[in-house]
Chain A
Amino acid sequence: MKPPALHSPWQQARVQLYQRPLALAALTVLLAVVAVAVVGPLLSSYDFATPSWDEIYQAPSLRHWLGTDALGRDQLVRVLWGCRISLLVGVAASLVSVAIGVLWGATAGYAGGATDSMMMRFVDILYTVPFIPLVVVMTVLFGRNFLLVFVAIGAVSWLDIARIVRGQTLSLKQREFIEAARALGVRTPTMIVRHLVPNLIGVVIIYATLTVPTVILFEAFLSFLGLGVHAPLASLGSLVSDGADHLQSQPYLLTAPAVLLALIIACFSYLGDGLRDALDPRTHR
């Protein structure tokens, strides 16, 4: 029986991924959550921001599937908006930090020597910065700003990626096809873009996928402390924070955002694991 023709490494990876039901399930769930978060609020007649004073603290009912919050706003719509914000922040901040981290790490790894040392010492120094106090200071200086949240999170998350990419670049540098490219006189920027980045993408995708839950959780943490998104916008984190305040009296306010937050984080983690197995060339052959 002829085996299927496996051409590109991407096709191979896709086949690998299909063989991992947990990762596939996680992907499906995530896509479903995204779909609902995007479409849901458009279908609802409720608005996430407008208060409705005669409807405050209502338990879940047919009118409000998840009840209402302290200002009478429909909790379901708020939770879906919370998903939107959390996912947006998670993915966007991850993309930014990945972009910075990859370029930093690949350049440091390929350049080697003093450049590498300097660049990675800078990363080490940033690691030591106490993060929460810094965000507090920035909030005091610039006020509560959605953009601030992005910057703060992005400034920290790129460090891990930079280290990982540098490590991968160091080992890639030893491989013979890089030597072959040097023998062709390929210049450093071209080398990084043409040879290193495509061979790094696998690792980057894995760690980007695993960075998203970290970022979401981090944003949730900031919101929980009151430093994240500001009212009337909500993220899952701020919803959890609000819900926690009313744990005794209105437990339903906490349940949905907490469950959703945990679900999203778990799904990204499983997906990341599955991608790592699928894309890691060592697990093949």
Chain B
Amino acid sequence: MKEAALEVRGLTVRFALAGARQRVLQAVTDVSFSVPRGETLGIVGESGSGKSTIARALLRLVPASGGVAWFKGVDLLALKDEPLRAMREHLQIIFQDPLASLDPRMRVAQIIEEPLLEFRPRMDPRARRNRVLAMMERVGLLPAHLNRYPHEFSGGQAQRIGIARALVLEPELLVCDEPISALDVSIKSQIANLLKDLQLQLQLSVIFIAHDLAAVRFSCERVLVLYLGRVMEIAPRDALFSAPRHPYTQALLQSVPIADPKRARARLEAPIVGEIPSPLSPPSGCVFRTRCPIVQARCAEQVPQLRAVGASEVACHRAGEGPSER
């Protein structure tokens, strides 16, 4: 396998909630994965899966409770102060709500320029402006947009501004937190194409977080499936979509509406019952067991570890069993 740009082991994030009862929210538990250089890793999950928390923990926007994240030879999670700040040049993020992530009082030029001001303070203003213009062209914005304000743009254009800002320093790793979820349907594919192009041009390693499985299939070479803060399955794209091993992955794939009326009607029952349990009191053993169609007694007792089954890694006691045993 390719060299890893980012290697995460045992990432855990816990939030202590305010109040007398001292409850703890287990957002992310023991998550490990690696992002091969120049490739895109997709992280999929529904609400409460912890995928956005992983993004924020890696960017050190929320504190991690445990684990390591090896990036450029250092543990990202252990850095502090100046070394942490210096590392940020190589690690950037794009947010879900394009308009909310842009300062409404700043013009586009200032927004895209800001990273340069922070990390290249001695850069000549004209060179800076040229760099900004070059980046804008790459993401499909016009020079006329330089002096406009975020509210003057549509969602898709605003996301382009966010992408330009994130990439103007040419970071090695880009984390995309649901980059197309908030966009109109006709615009999603534009931005998905753009991200793919930019990844190739700039040789980025990307973490693509989404709940839209079809978008993940288009954009990612490897996919990680998250449920209630734990990894259920990690697999190369084709393996995950054609032969999902974990019951949750299977249910997820079966739940996605099919844009073909004949095939859609053939499917009558909802593939999965119940709802996601509260992260305040996750089920013992395998967190998916309360909704799993093939649950057994041991699922409540032992937390399944990730193990290799074919090309995938699966956290399920029963993965790899033949069909006759189900």
Q: Do chains A and B touch in the complex (CB under 8 A)?
A: yes
A contact set with B: CB distance below 8 Å? 6-9, 175-177, 179-187, 194-195, 198-199, 281
User: Which B residues from 39 to 84 make CB contacts under 8 A with A?
Assistant: 59, 61, 84
In contact, A177 and B61 (Cβ under 8 angstroms) = no
Number of interface residues of B (CB under 8 A): 28
Among B24-32, B90-98, B290-298, the stretch in contact with A: B90-98
List of A residues within 8 angstroms of B100 by Cβ: 175-177
The chain B residue sitting closest to A190, CB to CB, is: B118
List of B residues within 8 angstroms of A9 by Cβ: 104-105, 149
List of A residues within 8 angstroms of B212 by Cβ: none
In contact, A183 and B114 (Cβ under 8 angstroms) = no
Q: Which of B97, B118, B147, B152 contacts A184 (CB 8 A)?
A: B118
Nearest CB on A from B272, distance (A): 32
Q: Which of B61, B103, B115, B119 contacts A199 (CB 8 A)?
A: B103
Q: Which of A8, A179, A183, A281 contacts B92 (CB 8 A)?
A: A183
In contact, B101 and A180 (Cβ under 8 angstroms) = yes
Nearest CB on A from B23, distance (A): 21
In contact, A7 and B114 (Cβ under 8 angstroms) = no
In contact, A177 and B103 (Cβ under 8 angstroms) = yes
| Interchain CA distance A198-B114 in the complex, whole Å | 15
In contact, B114 and A177 (Cβ under 8 angstroms) = no
The list of the 3 closest CB pairs from A to B, nearest first, reads A185-B88, A176-B100, A198-B105
When each residue 112-130 of chain B gets 1 if its CB lies under 8 Å from chain A and 0 otherwise, what string results?
A: 0011001100000000000
Is B164 engaged at the interface, CB distance under 8 Å to the other chain?
no
In contact, A182 and B61 (Cβ under 8 angstroms) = yes
List of A residues within 8 angstroms of B89 by Cβ: 185
19 contacts between A and B (CB under 8 A): A6-B152, A7-B147, A7-B148, A7-B149, A7-B152, A176-B100, A179-B61, A179-B101, A180-B95, A180-B165, A181-B114, A183-B92, A184-B88, A184-B118, A185-B86, A185-B88, A185-B89, A198-B103, A198-B106
List of A residues within 8 angstroms of B61 by Cβ: 179, 182-183
Is B267 engaged at the interface, CB distance under 8 Å to the other chain?
no
The chain B residue sitting closest to A285, CB to CB, is: B151
In contact, A185 and B149 (Cβ under 8 angstroms) = no
Nearest CB on B from A195, distance (A): 6
Nearest CB on A from B36, distance (A): 23
List of B residues within 8 angstroms of A199 by Cβ: 103-105
Nearest CB on B from A284, distance (A): 9
Nearest CB on A from B34, distance (A): 22
| Interchain CA distance A169-B221 in the complex, whole Å | 42
Is B11 engaged at the interface, CB distance under 8 Å to the other chain?
no
Is B102 engaged at the interface, CB distance under 8 Å to the other chain?
yes
In contact, B85 and A185 (Cβ under 8 angstroms) = yes
| Interchain CA distance A177-B104 in the complex, whole Å | 8
Contacts A177-B103, A182-B61, A185-B88 known; A8 to B149 CB distance under 8 Å?
A: yes
| Interchain CA distance A179-B152 in the complex, whole Å | 22
| Interchain CA distance A198-B111 in the complex, whole Å | 14
Q: Counting chain A CB atoms within 10 Å of each CB, which of B85, B105, B106, B148 scores highest?
A: B105
| Interchain CA distance A176-B102 in the complex, whole Å | 8
The chain A residue sitting closest to B93, CB to CB, is: A183
Nearest CB on A from B83, distance (A): 11
User: Which B residues from 153 to 174 make CB contacts under 8 A with A?
Assistant: 162, 165
- Contacts A177-B102, A180-B162 supplied; 16 other A-B pairs, CB < 8 Å: A6-B152, A7-B148, A9-B105, A9-B149, A176-B95, A176-B101, A177-B101, A179-B95, A180-B102, A181-B114, A183-B59, A183-B88, A185-B89, A186-B118, A199-B103, A199-B105
List of B residues within 8 angstroms of A198 by Cβ: 103, 105-106
| Interchain CA distance A177-B165 in the complex, whole Å | 12
| Interchain CA distance A108-B152 in the complex, whole Å | 33
The chain A residue sitting closest to B56, CB to CB, is: A179
List of A residues within 8 angstroms of B101 by Cβ: 176-177, 179-180
| Interchain CA distance A187-B92 in the complex, whole Å | 16
Nearest CB on A from B155, distance (A): 14
The chain B residue sitting closest to A10, CB to CB, is: B105
In contact, A281 and B103 (Cβ under 8 angstroms) = no
| Interchain CA distance A186-B165 in the complex, whole Å | 14
The chain B residue sitting closest to A284, CB to CB, is: B151
In contact, A281 and B104 (Cβ under 8 angstroms) = yes
Nearest CB on A from B62, distance (A): 10
In contact, B103 and A195 (Cβ under 8 angstroms) = yes
Nearest CB on B from A282, distance (A): 12
List of A residues within 8 angstroms of B106 by Cβ: 198
| Interchain CA distance A7-B105 in the complex, whole Å | 11
List of B residues within 8 angstroms of A179 by Cβ: 61, 95, 101
| Interchain CA distance A8-B103 in the complex, whole Å | 12
Contacts A7-B149, A175-B100, A179-B61 known; A186 to B105 CB distance under 8 Å?
A: no
List of A residues within 8 angstroms of B162 by Cβ: 180
| Interchain CA distance A199-B100 in the complex, whole Å | 13
List of A residues within 8 angstroms of B93 by Cβ: 180, 183
| Interchain CA distance A186-B121 in the complex, whole Å | 12
Nearest CB on B from A206, distance (A): 16
Nearest CB on B from A87, distance (A): 30
In contact, B149 and A184 (Cβ under 8 angstroms) = no
List of A residues within 8 angstroms of B114 by Cβ: 181, 184, 186, 194
The chain A residue sitting closest to B150, CB to CB, is: A177
Nearest CB on A from B43, distance (A): 18
| Interchain CA distance A180-B100 in the complex, whole Å | 10
